[in-house]
Amino acid sequence: MAYIWKEGLEQARGKGLWLGLGVLMLASIFIIAEARSFPADLGFEAMLLSLFDTNMYLVPLFSLFLASFSMFQEKEMKTAMILLTKKESNWTYILKKSLAVQIVITSAFIGAYFVLALFMKGFLAFHLQSFLHFLLITIVFLLIFNQIGVFLGTVCKTKMQLVGANILIWFVIVFLVDLVFLYFLPAITFDNLRLFSWIYFLDPIHTMRFYLETKLNLFGLSHMSRLMEKFVFMAPWKFLAINAFLWPTLFYFLSVFIKSGGTRQN
C-alpha cells in the first residue's frame, strides 16, 4: 500500500502523467467530435476503434516513459538502494514497484476515459458493453507497456539511455514489427500459416485490435476463407488473455534477472 501511495503522489506531482492524460483526452475529444458524422448504426463502435488507433501511438509512448522514469527515479534518488538493503529482495521490490506503477498509471488513464465517456454519451449513442470492451483493451495495453517500462527503467543506467530505449522500443513495436510482417507476407503459405498466426497474435497490438474489432461487430468472423479460418484458429479473447499474461510476466522476470547495478551520471 505504501508503494502505491508513494507512486500516486510522485506521479501526481510530476508533469508527465498530466501531460500524457491531457494529450490523450484532447486527441480523443476531437475523434469523438468527428465521429458524429459516422452513420449512426455503429458510429459509437467505429469511434472506439478510431480511438484505439490513436492510442496505438500515444499509450505505448506515455506508458513506457511514465513507468520507466518512475523506476529509474528510484535508482537515481537512491530510494531503491535503501529499500533493497533494509527489507526488500530484488524480487519483491520489483514486484511491489510494478504493482504500484500498474495501479496508479492504469487508474489515471481509466479515470480519464470515464471523463471522456461523458463526452461520448453527450455526442453519440453510448453503448456500455462496447465501452467496457474498449476499457478492457486499454487496461491490457497499459499492463503490457507499463511492465516494459519497468524493465527499461531497471536495466538502463543513464537518462539518455532510457529516453533512447523508450523511443526505440516504441518505434519497434508500433512501426518496425509490422514492416517486417509486410516484407515477409509473400512467404506465408497455407502450410506455415499456423506459425505466422502465432507470431501475429503474440504482437499485443494486433491482438488487441482484432479483439476489439470482433467484439464491436466491426469485423465478422463468419464467411471467412479457408486461409482466414486457419489463421484465426483460436478465439480472439484467448489470444488476448495469453498476451495479457505473457508479456507482463516475461518483462517482470527479465527486470529481476537483468538488473542493473545502479545509475551512471550523464
Query: What's the min distance (Å) between Cβ of 265 and another protein?
Result: 20
Q: Which chain residues interact with another protein by CB under 8 A?
A: 15, 26, 29-30, 33, 36, 38-39, 41-42, 46, 53, 56-57, 123, 174-179, 181-182, 185-186, 188, 196, 200, 206, 209, 213, 217-225, 227-228, 231
Look up residue 77 and give its three cell numbers. 534518488
Q: Each residue of 127-136: b (16+ CB within 10 Å) or e? A: beebbebbbb
Question: Which of 34, 99, 46 is CA-nearest to residue 70?
Answer: 99
Query: What's the min distance (Å) between Cβ of 146 and another protein?
Result: 21
Query: What's the min distance (Å) between Cβ of 173 and another protein?
Result: 10
Select 42 or 83, whichever has its Cβ closest to another protein.
Answer: 42
Q: Each residue of 16-48: b (16+ CB within 10 Å) or e? A: ebeebbeebbeebeebbeebeeeeeebbbbbbb
Query: What's the min distance (Å) between Cβ of 157 and another protein?
Result: 26
Select 88 or 203, whichever has its Cβ closest to another protein.
Answer: 203
Query: What's the min distance (Å) between Cβ of 47 and another protein?
Result: 11
Count Cα neighbours of 87 within 13 Å in the Cβ-side half-sphere.
1
For residues 90 and 87, give the distance between their C-alpha atoms in angstroms, rounded to a whole number: 10
Select 39 or 261, whichever has its Cβ closest to another protein.
Answer: 39
Select 231 or 237, whichever has its Cβ closest to another protein.
Answer: 231
Q: Report CA 96 to chain centroid distance, whole Å.
A: 19
The burial of 126, by beta-carbon neighbours within 10 Å (0-12 exposed, 13-18 middle, 19 or more buried), is given as middle
Select 103 or 218, whichever has its Cβ closest to another protein.
Answer: 218
Query: What's the min distance (Å) between Cβ of 193 and another protein?
Result: 8
95 contacts: CB under 8 Å, gap ≥ 6: 252
Contact 260, 154 (CB under 8 A): yes
Select 53 or 160, whichever has its Cβ closest to another protein.
Answer: 53
Query: What's the min distance (Å) between Cβ of 19 and another protein?
Result: 9
Question: Which of 7, 30, 22 is CA-nearest to residue 62?
Answer: 22
For residues 232 and 169, give the distance between their C-alpha atoms in angstroms, rounded to a whole number: 27
Query: What's the min distance (Å) between Cβ of 8 and another protein?
Result: 19
Select 129 or 222, whichever has its Cβ closest to another protein.
Answer: 222
Amino acid letter for position 111: G
For residues 111 and 115, give the distance between their C-alpha atoms in angstroms, rounded to a whole number: 6
Tally Cβ neighbours within 10 Å of residue 168. Answer: 12
Select 163 or 218, whichever has its Cβ closest to another protein.
Answer: 218
